[in-house]
Each structure stands twice: as C-alpha cells, then as structure tokens.
Amino acid sequence: MGGKSSSTREYFYVCLALLMGVGGCAIGEGRREIKTAPAPVLIPEPKPIPPPKILVEPTKIRDQREANEHLSKARELMSRGDYDGALRESQKAVSLAKGEPPADAALFHMALIYAHPKNPKKDNPRAIGLFNRVVKTHPESIWAEQAKIWVAVLDGVEKLKQVDLEIEEKKRDRPR
C-alpha cells in the first residue's frame, strides 16, 4: 500500500514540475512580450490652422467693376428704349470710373443716347459735346476715333439743318 501512494505522489510531483517548467516558460515568454512591447506611437501635434484670409478688393478695382456693371445696365436699358434710365446708369459709370476706363466708354455711350434718332430727348449739340469730351479727355481710347467720326457726321447734320432753316426763312421773306 505504501509503495503505491508514493509512486502516485512521485508521478504527481513530476507532472507538477513539468507543468511549472512549461508554464513558467510560457509565463516568462509573456513577460518578455510585455518587456519588448512596441514603442508607443507618437501622434503629431496638430498644425495650427491659419486664420482665414479676408480678401479686400481695392477701391479702384471695385469702382471700375461697378462702373462696368452700370455701363452694361445702361446698354441693356438703351436697347429696350429706356433712354433716361440708360443715361442715369452711364452717368453713374462715369462718376465711379473717375477719369479711368470705362469712363471713356460711358461718355461715348451717353453721347450715343443723345444722338439716338428714337430718343424723344434727342440733342445733337449735346451729343457732339460729349463726343468731343471723349476725344479730349481720352485721346488714347478706342472710342476716341469713333467719337471723331460721330462729331463729323453730327456737325454735317447740324449744318444741313441750318441750311434748311435759312432756305425756309428766304422762302417766307420772298414776296409773292
């Protein structure tokens, strides 16, 4: 009886020793994993977000842009027969442009409004004055040469009107 229990006990101790040996290696390996854990991943600091750039349109550029918008509106109004509205928009364009383009185009357009045959407020002398102003204040403009042509045409028309008036006067003064 006594020999049997010791062999069972010995078997138990041998198994326990083996388990501890194998288990100890596993535990030891586990410890090594902890010791050799990968280096922590460093998260880069976020870059500061620059403040938004506020684009401010220079006054001169804004005025020229607005003058072009008024001139476009004036052309549209003239095409619809609104000569007074077209004249107001052209004047706004001249005022905003301050002697720079598109002031030359706006002056030319105003002159065309006054010279337009369907305009009930047609005024050839005023149109001639505006065309001459284009030539004088903007001699380098593409509108200057056309303005010279218009002045010549309208001067011719005005001279013909004057001749017609003189002929009519002579007819009235002539005794019958």
Residues 6+ apart with CB under 8 A from 124: 114, 115, 154, 157, 158
Confidence of residue 163 (pLDDT cuts 50, 70, 90): very high
Check residue 45 and give its pLDDT. 80
Question: Is the pLDDT at 40 greater than 80, yes or no?
Answer: no
Residue type, 83: Y
pLDDT digits (tens, 9 = 90+) for 12-24: 777 667 666 655 5
Domains and CATH numbers, the chain: 59-171 (1.25.40.10)
Alpha-carbon torsion angle 134, 137, 138, 140, nearest 10: 130
| pLDDT in the model for residue 175 | 73
Instruction: Convert the pLDDT of each residue in 94-134 to its tens digit.
Output: 999 999 999 999 999 999 999 999 999 999 999 999 999 99
